[in-house]
Amino acid sequence: MTPLIVTRYTGVNCLGRGIEAWWAALRARRSGLAACDFEDAVLDTYIGRVAGVEDVTLPGPLAAFDCRNNRLAWLGLAQDGFREAVLATRERHGAGRIAVIMGTSTSGVLSTERAYQRRDPGSGALPADFRFAETQSTYSLSAFVRAALGLEGPAHVVSTACSSSAKVFASAARLIGAGFADAAVVGGADSLCLTTLYGFRSLELLSGAPCRPYDAERNGISIGEGAGFALLERSGAGPVLVGVGESCDAYHMSTPHPEGLGARLAMERALGAGGLAPDAVGYVNLHGTATRTNDIAEGRAVRDVFGSRTPSSATKGAHGHLLGAAGITEAIVALLALERGFLPGTANTRALDVETACRVLIEGEAAAPRYVLSNSFGFGGNNCSVIFGRA
């Protein structure tokens, strides 16, 4: 794989707006999760809700895209000078040479849920102000980001559930490698909605407390929301996208392979793409959802690839499970660990499950990894691992 430079990255989630807010929370092993107060959902669970989304107003030309998901994207684009960095890149290469590849799982489904609550009692019709293409459509997010940044290069949305916004790195790198773009804005957004809250409840995967990845007493996930973005270029200053590995479990739609077979393949392929030996990687940001099945299977896979000494941690106890935005969010956590010389701990976790096969850090620690890897696994058994290295 042709290495690309991550010249800028940013995002928003329940830890705050922009990477400094995230980092302060991750350094302190602080959780942003709180008891569920989303809309009228009555659920005994914790969520990572972004404060102030309700107050966001999209500017006139973008108003048609208004929905919770695109508001999160808008908040994210405004942090850490990201928008300005993209505009400078646009000046250099031209709008048509910058690709936009976003990941999302549920896009603006909350808008559809609300529209179904306001159906015409006689005809059953959806309200006239419901806009399918700009909100519900899976592509909506890339259309919005493309319009918000004035970009005209190749674009699509990757939607492979919880690996979506990790796979955007692979898709963008291929397009740039083949010469169809000179740079790419990658990332993703996913927003709280009743579909995922009640859907995960039906699978009995919602934790009644802030989630505790890899803990002996873990009992499920805490759903979060947010957006994250990265600017990929052929040259510039910043960490390097070294390799991406993609795989499928070929096992079950919503349960991971018990031995972590697909997870292992994703990590091995990422190492292969980067031409790296396993011991080059100094930190693994685990998918670590805090479900009984994921953490055991992933731990085995990590041990099978890296042995039991490579430090790893799961940060979903801090920011929640951002589903389609988990890949980009945790890629950014891994980038921060790489650039700032500190491996974040596993928030909320008290005592590791004795069956954990890999080395999970409960407390954060100072370290200077040369390479870091982030795992993201989704429904449909879809897996992706991304590796970044120091410049």
Partner 1 sequence: MKAYIDGFGLLAPGLPSWRAARSVLAGDARYEPGEMPRPTAEILPPAERRRCGDLVKLALHVGAEALAPSGARAEGLATVFTCATGSGEVLHQICETLAGTDRDVSPTRFHNSVHNAAAGYWSIATGARTASTSLCAHQGSLAAGLLEAAVQAAAAQRAVLLVAYDLPPPPPLAAVVPCTVPCGLALLLAPARGAASLGEMELDLAREGADTTFADPALERLRTGNAAARGLPLLAAFAAGRAARLTLEWLPTLRLAVAATPYRAT
Site for partner 1, rule CB under 8 A: 1, 96, 105, 109, 112-113, 115-117, 119, 123-126, 130-133, 136-139, 142-143, 146, 152-161, 167, 170-171, 174-175, 177-180, 194-195, 198-203, 246-254, 261-262, 265, 269, 378-382
User: Is residue 156 packed enough to be buried (19+ CB in 10 Å), middle (13-18) or exposed (0-12)?
Assistant: middle
- Between 64 and 367, whose beta carbon lies closer to partner 1? 64
What's the closest the beta carbon of residue 289 comes to partner 1, in angstroms?
Answer: 15
- Pairing status of strand 382-389 against strand 371-378: antiparallel
In sequence order, which ranges of 208-354 are alpha helices (DSSP H)?
261-274, 292-306, 316-319, 326-340
Give CA–CA dist 31/19, Å, rounded.
15
What's the closest the beta carbon of residue 346 comes to partner 1, in angstroms?
Answer: 27
- Between 2 and 57, whose beta carbon lies closer to partner 1? 2
- What is the SS3 string spanning 5-67? EEEEEEEEECCEECHHHHHHHHHCCCCCCEECCCCCCCCCCEEECCCCHHHCCCCHHHHHHCC
What's the closest the beta carbon of residue 246 comes to partner 1, in angstroms?
Answer: 4
Catalytic residues: 162, 287, 321
DSSP for 84-116 reads: HHHHHHHHHH-GGGEEEEEE-SSTTHHHHHHHH
- Between 3 and 130, whose beta carbon lies closer to partner 1? 130
In sequence order, which ranges of 182-253 are alpha helices (DSSP H)?
194-202
- Between 349 and 385, whose beta carbon lies closer to partner 1? 385
What's the closest the beta carbon of residue 123 comes to partner 1, in angstroms?
Answer: 8
Q: What share of the chain is helix, strand, coil (3-state, %, to 5)?
A: 40, 25, 40
First CA to last CA distance, the chain: 16
Q: At a CB cut-off of 8 Å and minimum separation 6, what does 249 contact?
A: 256, 257, 261, 262, 263, 381, 382, 383
Give CA–CA dist 113/117, Å, rounded.
7
How far, CA to CA in Å, does 187 sit from each of 3, 10, 221, 370?
18, 9, 22, 23
Could you count the other beta carbons within 10 Å of the beta carbon of residue 330? 26
- Between 25 and 101, whose beta carbon lies closer to partner 1? 101
Closest residue by Cα to residue 357 from 298, 284, 317, 315? 298
What's the closest the beta carbon of residue 120 comes to partner 1, in angstroms?
Answer: 8
What's the closest the beta carbon of residue 252 comes to partner 1, in angstroms?
Answer: 7
Amino acid identity, position 204: E
What's the closest the beta carbon of residue 260 comes to partner 1, in angstroms?
Answer: 12
- Pairing status of strand 34-35 against strand 46-48: antiparallel
- Between 160 and 329, whose beta carbon lies closer to partner 1? 160
